[in-house]
């Protein structure tokens, strides 16, 4: 790296740090969702959308996306710095995650020039919220089992069936939709097609589903003879599986190109350590309990291991025997750690662990809610079991099951 | 938290990786194991590569790097469960370089660079890791130290010319340099240990009288602990990589019920967990190596103990599953899984197991 570049980067780091320090939003006075998969009320949504718009306008997301379409046109390292700062300063996450991190990079990679001009800028500004219509009641892990149908009729496709677990379904303007255009193909994957579908047409009805916490946050999206323009088709008819797989490489962080920003509230082992210093388990401060101390140390080691992995993987010579091991296991490692950490956090509180969101609970019940919500990420986006299969097969080269 | 690898370290890593692949197939290790002899020619080749003097200052003929630069070498060696005195020699060289007087350095270091082996004796019959429990005593009299006590798990001492031992002078644990030629015949006995690639001995120090100038500066015991622990973790990291590869290869070739056994999730998923633990361990390891390069301070201690705890846990699990996943063959002496399992037990219980490391980390991280 040249000295000029180094100086430019250092200046940028400083600038970003100052901007987030000055512009970090105040506590809104209501509980925020913990991930983009749990935006359940209008006030939560508006708050987060305003925040994303503000960050975009300041120039801190989409930094590496092309200028022509609304991005910053700068090297990836600037985005990495900005995102890192958002994590460090614990600012709210970007609600339009599906647009920023999977639909957006997908469009930039395989979309037409017209797609890019139409969609990219509004993804960044949160003007257009995107959702994902992949899972169905009978097709989750086994996505190839998709049944929702799209039938060509003149200049339209007519969509029938339903998609489920649609995060942000009621707020979205567009959906990346996987649907079956033919039933007569050799394999179940061959008859699928991929659409950039508008949500605002007649016959599309997202119905909120109540989550295990009692809140809302995702939907079942019903399609009843919904007509969408034929030019919503991405790629060729019958090529949908391929496009869906490219989308998943973005979703799983296996390929770069995302717009940056965070998609969930930061929560790590140090937060639980801090909690242990101020709550009581069976009469004494949790941090004084031998069981708690032992577990905390293990969590701190695991958390640091995760952090160091990304650093080590970039060092020439230390990349390791198994290419892709670190990036492809990222979702599995981080989400499972979060689940176990929040589960453990409850054990610090003694009998008070049995409370839920209310004034009398430790931190208003945030930890109980966090534990229940942690499963959003160990299930959504491909379950941990499926992640194990992916890493075992793609990284270790073990045979498919 | 940054991890860096200098050009010299990268070169050492590349050289070591290909050296051990070519020079130390596991059959070779098995041969050494069965005849119990020291592999002199292997050691000689390592000396010629300059590895005996990696962490010895240039003015005494070494490469002038720190002990952390041994990490890539020891890690690469660990993959093939090679037994070698490089660890003890490097720890000893590091201690003399950091805590020796100028005179001690000029006497001992050039000899090590030329290939004279140094062994270390820190542990005793009580099996304690914490050097507070050292029972060996060094009493100052008549211009020298009179030693009483016994040391265990001293590796390759029969072919080394120096052995560094810990002993208490009043309440302080110090480290002493002994010429093995000073130890009377019959006081060194071979021990049976779980890792058969390791040649371990007990030394009876009772009655030994050594010069006043054979003690290292005070504080050397801390570096002794941390630097051995770092190399121990390096060996475990290599071991986990080796046993992971061994098991993955088996899972890709062995069939049961007309299917390759690697397709069964009850085998596949634990392999992924082992992969992840191996990646985490390597990250802790190289970060710890970076930290120690700026001295054995608190941050280095935290990083090294984390690497050690991760290593013990990862290696124990990986080698345990390796045996199980090889089925009946896994239960045989012929299957290499047992070599890794025995190495894992050796490393874990020599360095201080994960429970011990975590206990120390509690104080370092939580109080
Ligand atoms: C909070 C949340 C938000 C979501 N948001 C979206 C969204 O916006 N858009 C969208 O399309 N989808 C979304 N999903 C759906 C999600 O991708 C699916 O729930 C997930 O892929 C699992 O599918 P399923 O629910 O059908 O479970 P199933 O596939 O029925 O799985 C049930 C259990 O079986 C296990 N299992 C299944 N197959 C295997 C196998 N081959 N090997 C081992 N174990 C297996 C699973 O791991 C799981 O434990 C969301 C889910 C959640 C929880």
Q: CATH no. for residue A237? A: 2.40.110.10
A154 found inside a domain: yes
Among B214, B245, B269, the domain boundary falls at B214
Query: Of ligand 1's atoms, which has the minimum distance to the CA of residue A218?
Result: 3
Are the beta carbons of B191 and B253 closer than 8 angstroms? no
Give B263's contacts in chain A (Cβ within 8 Å).
398-401
Residue with tokens 């991405």: A234
Domain CATH number, residue B172: 2.40.110.10
Which segments of chain B have a pLDDT < 50?
none
Contact A251, A37 (CB under 8 A): no
Which CATH number covers residue A333? Answer: 1.20.140.10
Domain assignment present for B2: no
Report the 10 Å Cβ neighbour count for B59.
Answer: 11
* pLDDT score for A1: 64
Q: What is the pLDDT of residue A251?
A: 87
Q: Are residues A276 and A389 in the same domain?
A: yes
Same domain, A33 and A81: yes
Residues 6+ apart with CB under 8 A from B214: B145, B176, B177, B178
pLDDT band (50, 70, 90) for residue A116: very high
Q: Does residue A379 sit in the same domain as residue A309?
A: yes
Question: Residue B239 falls within a domain, yes or no?
Answer: yes
- Domain end marker among A224, A251, A278: A251
Interface of A with B in 268-287 (CB under 8 A): 273, 287
pLDDT band at A186 (very low <50, low <70, confident <90, very high): confident
Residue B80 DSSP SS3: coil
**Residue B1 distance to chain A (closest CA, Å):** 7
Ranking A249-263, A280-294, A317-331, A369-383 by mean pLDDT, the lowest is A249-263
Please count the structural domains in chain B. Answer: 3
Q: Which residue's C-alpha comes closest to atom 41 of ligand 1?
A: A386
- Local confidence band at A9 (pLDDT 50, 70, 90 cut-offs): very high
User: Based on the domain organization, do B22 and B134 belong to the same domain?
Assistant: no
Residues A276, A380 within the same domain: yes
Is residue B309, in this structure, part of any structural domain at all? yes
Indicate whether A288 belongs to any domain. yes
Does residue A263 sit within a domain?
no
Q: Does A24 have pLDDT greater than 90?
A: yes
- B11 found inside a domain: yes
Beta bridge partners of A83: none
Residue of B nearest to A322 (CA): B275
Give me the mean pLDDT over the A104-129 stretch. Answer: 97
How far apart CA B224 and CA B122 sit, in angstroms, is: 9
Residues A206 and A106 in one domain: no
Residues B149, B245 share a domain: no
Our CA-based measurement puts residue B230 at a distance from the nearest CA of chain A, in whole angstroms, of: 16
Residues B62 and B77 in one domain: yes
Enclosing domain of residue B110: 7-115
Least CB–CB distance from A329: residue in B262, B269, B276? B276
Is the pLDDT reported for residue A55 higher than 80?
A: yes
End-to-end, the C-alpha distance of chain B in Å comes to 22
A173 belongs to a structural domain:
yes
pLDDT in the model for residue A3: 77
- Domain end, chosen from A225, A251, A277, is at A251
Sheet containing B188-191: order of strands: B150-155, B200-204, B188-191
pLDDT value for A257: 87
Catalytic residue, chosen from A34, A85, A215, A251, is A251
Long-range contacts formed by A21-30: CB under 8 A, 24+ apart: A21/A89, A23/A54, A23/A58, A24/A89, A24/A91, A25/A51, A25/A91, A25/A92
Count of the separate structural domains present in chain A: 3
Assigned domain for B124 exists: yes
Same domain, A192 and A87: no
Quick check: B1 contacting A, CB < 8 Å?
yes
Of B197, B214, B231, the domain-final residue: B214
C-alpha closest to that of A35 among A344, A377, A357, A284: A377
| Mean per-residue pLDDT over chain A, rounded | 95
Q: Are residues B361 and B247 in the same domain?
A: yes
d(CA B307, CA B130): 18
**Cβ–Cβ contact B169 with A under 8 A:** no
pLDDT of residue B1: 86
Residue A337 lies in a domain: yes
Q: Span A228-252, mean pLDDT?
A: 94
Residue among A336, A342, A329 at smallest CA distance from A377: A336
Position A4 scores a pLDDT of: 77
Do residues B256 and B360 both lie within one domain? Answer: yes
Whether B148 and B226 share a structural domain: no
pLDDT at A364 over 90: yes
Is position A400 within any domain? no
Query: Does A391 score more than 70 pLDDT?
Result: yes
Minimum distance, in Å, between the CA of residue B78 and any CA atom of chain A: 15
Q: Are residues B101 and B124 in the same domain?
A: no
* The two structure tokens encoding residue B311: 């290593």
Last residue of a domain, one of B87, B115, B143: B115
Asked if B132 and B109 sit in the same domain, the reply is no
Its sign, for the CA torsion A266, A268, A274, A277, is positive
Residue A2 reports pLDDT greater than 90: no
Residues B207 and B236 in one domain: no
Interface check B365 vs A, CB under 8 A: yes
Task: Flag whether A111 is in a domain.
Answer: yes
Q: Is residue B1 part of a domain?
A: no
Based on the domain organization, do B136 and B106 belong to the same domain? Answer: no
Q: Which two tokens stand for residue B316?
A: 């124990």
Whether B236 contacts B274, CB under 8 Å: no
Q: Is A320 on the interface with B (CB under 8 A)?
A: yes
A259 within a domain of the structure (yes/no): no
Query: Is B33 a domain residue?
Result: yes
- The pLDDT of A267-280, averaged and rounded, is 97
- Do B292 and B317 belong to one domain? yes
In this predicted structure, what is the pLDDT of residue B139?
Answer: 97
> A180-194, A325-339, B225-239, B270-284: lowest mean pLDDT where?
A180-194
Residues B73 and B23: their CA atoms lie apart, in Å, by 13
Q: What is the CATH number of the domain that holds B255?
A: 1.20.140.10
Q: Are residues B95 and B138 in the same domain?
A: no
- Percent of chain B residues past pLDDT 70, beyond the cut: 100
Average pLDDT over residues A354-363: 96
Q: Which of A97, A128, A159 is the last residue of a domain?
A: A128
ipTM of the shown complex = 0.95
What range does the domain containing A90 cover? 3-128
Short-list A197, A341, A357, CA closest to A270: A341
């Amino acid at each position: 790296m040249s000295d000029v570049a180094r100086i430019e980067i250092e200046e940028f780091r400083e600038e970003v740090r100052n901007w987030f320090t000055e512009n970090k939003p105040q506590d809104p006075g209501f509980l925020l969702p913990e991930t983009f998969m749990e935006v359940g009320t209008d006030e939560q949504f508006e708050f987060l959308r305003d925040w994303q718009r503000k960050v975009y306008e300041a120039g801190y997301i989409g930094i590496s996306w092309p200028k022509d379409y609304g991005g910053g046109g700068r090297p990836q390292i600037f985005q990495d710095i900005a995102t890192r700062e958002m994590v460090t300063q614990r600012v709210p996450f970007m609600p339009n995650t599906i647009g920023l991190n999977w639909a957006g990079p997908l469009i930039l990679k395989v979309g037409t020039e017209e797609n890019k001009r139409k969609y990219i800028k509004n993804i960044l500004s949160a003007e257009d919220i995107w959702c994902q219509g992949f899972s169905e009641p009978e097709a989750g892990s086994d996505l190839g089992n998709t049944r929702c149908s799209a039938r060509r009729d003149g200049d339209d496709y007519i969509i029938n069936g339903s998609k489920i677990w649609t995060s942000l379904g009621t707020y979205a303007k567009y959906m990346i939709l996987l649907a079956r255009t033919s039933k007569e193909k050799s394999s179940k994957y061959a008859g699928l097609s991929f659409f950039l579908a508008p949500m605002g047409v007649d016959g599309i009805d997202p119905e909120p589903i109540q989550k295990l916490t009692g809140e809302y946050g995702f939907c079942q999206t019903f399609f009843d003879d919904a007509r969408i323009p034929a030019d919503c088709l991405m790629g060729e008819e019958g090529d949908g599986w391929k496009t869906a797989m490219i989308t998943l490489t973005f979703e799983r962080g296996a390929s770069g190109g995302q717009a940056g920003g965070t998609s969930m509230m930061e929560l790590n082992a140090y937060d639980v350590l801090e909690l242990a210093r101020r709550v009581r388990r069976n009469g004494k401060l949790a941090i004084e309990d031998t069981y708690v101390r032992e577990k905390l140390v293990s969590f701190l080691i695991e958390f640091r291991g995760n952090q160091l992995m990304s650093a080590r993987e970039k060092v020439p010579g230390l990349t390791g025997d198994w290419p892709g091991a670190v990036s492809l296991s990222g979702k599995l490692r981080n989400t499972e750690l979060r689940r176990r950490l929040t589960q453990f956090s409850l054990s610090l509180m003694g009998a008070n662990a049995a409370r839920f969101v209310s004034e009398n609970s430790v931190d208003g019940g945030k930890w109980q809610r966090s534990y229940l919500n942690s499963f959003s990420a160990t299930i959504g986006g491909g379950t941990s079991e499926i992640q194990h299969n992916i890493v075992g097969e793609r990284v270790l080269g073990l045979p498919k099951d | 938290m940054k991890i860096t690898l200098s050009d010299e370290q990268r070169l050492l890593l590349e050289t070591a990786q290909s050296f051990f692949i070519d020079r130390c197939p596991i059959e070779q290790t098995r041969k050494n194991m069965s005849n119990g002899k020291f592999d002199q020619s292997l050691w000689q080749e390592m000396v010629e590569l300059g590895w005996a003097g990696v962490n010895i200052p240039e003015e005494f003929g070494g490469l002038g790097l720190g002990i952390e630069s041994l990490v890539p070498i020891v890690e690469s060696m660990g993959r093939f469960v090679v037994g070698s005195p490089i660890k003890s020699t490097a720890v000893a060289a590091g201690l003399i370089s950091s805590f020796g007087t100028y005179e001690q350095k000029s006497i001992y270091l050039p000899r090590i660079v030329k290939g004279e082996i140094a062994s270390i004796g820190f542990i005793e019959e009580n099996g304690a890791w914490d050097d507070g429990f050292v029972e060996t005593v060094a009493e100052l009299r008549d211009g020298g130290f009179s030693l009483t006590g016994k040391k265990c798990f001293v590796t390759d001492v029969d072919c080394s010319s120096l052995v560094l031992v810990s002993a208490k002078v009043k309440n302080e644990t110090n480290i002493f340099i002994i010429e093995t030629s000073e130890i009377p015949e019959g006081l060194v006995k071979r021990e049976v240990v779980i890792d058969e690639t390791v040649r371990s001995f007990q030394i009876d120090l009772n009655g030994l009288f050594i010069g006043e100038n054979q003690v290292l500066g005070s504080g050397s015991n801390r570096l002794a602990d941390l630097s051995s622990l770092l190399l121990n973790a390096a060996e475990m990291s290599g071991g986990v990589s080796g046993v992971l590869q061994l098991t993955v290869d088996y899972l890709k070739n062995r069939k049961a019920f007309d299917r390759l056994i690697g397709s069964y999730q009850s085998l596949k998923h634990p392999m992924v967990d082992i992969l992840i633990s191996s990646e985490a361990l390597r990250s802790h390891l190289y970060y710890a190596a970076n930290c120690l390069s700026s001295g054995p301070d608190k941050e280095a201690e935290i990083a090294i103990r984390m690497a050690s705890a991760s290593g013990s846990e990862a290696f124990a699990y990986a080698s345990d599953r390796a045996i199980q996943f090889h089925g009946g063959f896994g239960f045989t002496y012929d299957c290499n899984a047992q070599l890794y399992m025995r190495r894992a037990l050796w490393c874990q219980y020599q360095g201080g197991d994960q429970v011990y490391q975590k206990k120390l980390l509690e104080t370092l991280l939580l109080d």
